[in-house]
Amino acid sequence: MSNKPKVVITDFDYGDVDIETAILRDAGAEVVALQAKSETDLAMHAADCAAMMNQYARIGRTTIERMTQCRVIARYGVGVDIVDVEAATERGILVTNVRDYCTEEVADHAIALWMALARRLFDYDRATHQGIWQWQSGKPINRLRGRTMGIVSFGKIGQAIAERARAFGVEIIAFDPFLPADVVARHGAELVDKAGLLARSDYILMQAPMNPDTRHFLSDAEFAAMKPGAILVNTGRGPTVDNKALYRALTTGTLAGAGLDDPEEEPAKRSHWSPADNPIFTLPNVVVTPHAAYYSEESIRAARENAASEVARVLTGQPPKFPVNADALASA
């Protein structure tokens, strides 16, 4: 058995771990790549790992409490909602994420979903594939210019969406409790409260992180407060929208359509599933992508290099660039 610090990659999904191995070898570490489907799969590797890197696998308290040697957990992405950051902090384990590796991709994807719905591309496409050649098959379509787009969470991606949407001549309003109005205004948007955003938006673009305040940010009451016929796009976290309430809103005409990159209940990776398991997937006014908004060849490379570099920094005694819980150093 080697004495090198062991870096466990929980569920590698990129075909190989060459990028990570090259960076971590230089830091004197060895890589163990798993395809863990559950915390039980991680249990036997938790006790002696010096670092863990995860893409989709949940790293919860049970796993973290076994991590007596671990110094850092590095998420290959922005959202760290699948890591129990509190438990890690208690044990003095740093958690890092990769920021800004896919801002452009997600903003492009949000605009693509919005445009596909606003211009009814899927209705036209379905109709023409069935031999129906009628402009009316996409009715009703409204001119975008002069309409209002409401962006929920105006961080890096929200701002990049606004930058793109301005070219379409829409008025942009934003809800974000942690940003001052002048910062939002600098990006060409007006800061509003939640009620204002719901009442004024023709298009609502959700880019919220997952936290206790954003869970079911949109549910029955919020859909009832929206403009009838609004369009919803969610390229943030799925559980920020209540799936059952969304189904009701889509089937009663409250919403004209929804574009979802991350539905509330995401089918498990590589598992067999049926679209009928989630009735939302069967609706004609819904466009779904499989949590792919972040994806481009360039963004994935950046995520891999940055996540591995964070681990290398910590293992060689340097501070990470993007600690999610810098306070873990105090409890270490």
Ligand X SMILES: O=C(O)[C@H](O)CO
Ligand Y SMILES: NC(=O)c1ccc[n+]([C@@H]2O[C@H](COP(=O)([O-])OP(=O)(O)OC[C@H]3O[C@@H](n4cnc5c(N)ncnc54)[C@H](O)[C@@H]3O)[C@@H](O)[C@H]2O)c1
Which position among 184, 226, 293, 328 is part of the footprint of ligand Y (CB under 6 A)? 293
Question: Any catalytic annotation for residue 291?
Answer: yes
CA–CA separation, 156 vs 147, rounded Å? 23
Contact status: 214 vs ligand Y (CB under 6 A): yes
Segment 288 to 327, residues that bind ligand X, using CB under 6 A: 294
How does DSSP assign 161-221, residue by residue? Answer: HHHHHGGGT-EEEEE-TTS-HHHHHHTT-EE--HHHHHHH-SEEEE-PPPSTTTTTSBSHH
Name residue 42's amino acid: L
Tokens of 111: 């605009």
Contact status: 79 vs ligand X (CB under 6 A): yes
Q: Closest CB to ligand Y belongs to which residue?
A: 155
Look at residue 156 and give the partner it binds from ligand Y, ligand X, none, a contact being a CB closer than 5 to 8 Å depending on partner kind.
ligand Y
* Cβ neighbours of residue 332 closer than 8 Å, sequence gap 6 or more: 71, 92, 93
**What percentage of the chain's residues is helix, strand, coil (to nearest 5)?**
40, 15, 45
Considering 109, 237, 304, 313, which one is annotated as catalytic? 237
Pick 101 or 223: Cβ nearer ligand X: 101
Binding mask 71-100 for ligand Y (x = CB under 6 A): -------xx---------------------
Kindly indicate which of the ranges 2-10, 149-157, 301-309, 319-327 contains the residues binding ligand Y, using the contact rule CB under 6 A. Answer: 149-157
Name residue 285's amino acid: N
CA distances (Å), origin 50, targets 108, 280, 306: 37, 42, 18
Tokens of 319: 């501070």
Kindly indicate which of the ranges 16-24, 72-80, 222-230, 317-325 contains the residues binding ligand X, using the contact rule CB under 6 A. Answer: 72-80
Question: Any catalytic annotation for residue 71?
Answer: no
Size of the site for ligand X (CB under 6 A): 4
Site for ligand X, rule CB under 6 A:
77-79, 294
> Which residues have a catalytic role annotated?
237, 266, 291
